[in-house]
Amino acid sequence: MDETADEPATERAPGRFAVSARDLTQAAVFAALLAALGLPGTISVGPTGVPITVQTLGVMLAGSILGARKGALAIALFSVLAIAGLPILAGARTGLVALASPTAGFFVAWLPAVLIIGGLTARMMPRYGAVRGFLINVFGGMAIIYAFGATGLMLRTDLSWWAALATCGVYLPGDIVKAGVTALVAAQVHRAWPGLIPRRRAAEAVDG
């Protein structure tokens, strides 16, 4: 018997590019969460001026809880608003300010990072757990953000790529904590609401 036969249509996997009202609502909630995580401001460390923020926690949460498609939609909504001029990046910065600064690579990295985190999370469903989630956040999230961030620093400063990457070391302890917190939260959320990443899509990802 098909266990998904009685589920609401919105809980099943929609077409690859279909977006439902529920998808938009969930994406908007996470876009708002990203903005809220920017309210504590920033702590600038090191000579590059790249700040420590809490917003990368929101990026990891978006990918880990919503998956690649809806997580990317949340990041896209947030990015459009930021680039349009809303000061919703940490430190009350706009997207254009971020793109014109040495931090540009870190901002640009949010979208590929959430896509990779979300895609790898779907492959783990329904076996997603805190340990697997932590590894996904570190290697699929932090590694991508650091690689893009180092590239942006190299292009905007006189640092080599490896020297720019080395400057990310100061952010590593905090980001490790964010990755762990995200994994714990996401594991509990998927246990309580397994339909956030559609079951059929997750099963296909595992099989394929």
- Per-residue confidence (pLDDT) for residue 116, from 0 to 100: 97
| Distance separating alpha carbons of residues 86 and 7, to the nearest angstrom | 39
* Mean pLDDT score of the chain: 85
Bridge partners, residue 51, by sequence = 44
- Per-residue confidence (pLDDT) for residue 64, from 0 to 100: 96
- Local confidence band at 48 (pLDDT 50, 70, 90 cut-offs): low
pLDDT above 90 (res 187): yes
Is it true that the peptide bond before 126 is cis, omega within 30 degrees of 0? yes
| Neighbour-count burial for 85-124, b at 16+ CB within 10 Å, e otherwise | eeebbbbebbbebbbebbbbbbbbbbbbbbbbbbbbbbbb
pLDDT (tens digit, 9 = 90+) per residue, 56-72?
A: 999 999 999 999 999 99
| Distance separating alpha carbons of residues 182 and 107, to the nearest angstrom | 19
pTM assigned to the model: 0.83
Going from N- to C-terminal start, the domains of the chain cover 16-207
E-strand ranges in the chain read 43-44, 51-52
- Local confidence band at 201 (pLDDT 50, 70, 90 cut-offs): very low
pLDDT (tens digit, 9 = 90+) per residue, 97-135?
A: 999 988 899 999 999 999 999 999 999 988 899 999 999
| Distance separating alpha carbons of residues 152 and 150, to the nearest angstrom | 5
Which of these ranges, 39-43, 50-54, 61-65, 159-163, has the smallest mean pLDDT?
Answer: 39-43
Q: What percent of the chain is helix, strand and coil (3-state, nearest 5)?
A: 70, 5, 25
Task: Tell me if 83 sits within 8 A of 95, measured CB to CB.
Answer: yes
- Per-residue confidence (pLDDT) for residue 2, from 0 to 100: 46
- Per-residue confidence (pLDDT) for residue 50, from 0 to 100: 66
Residue at 114: amino acid letter: V
- Local confidence band at 53 (pLDDT 50, 70, 90 cut-offs): confident
Q: Output the CATH code of domain 16-207.
A: 1.10.1760.20
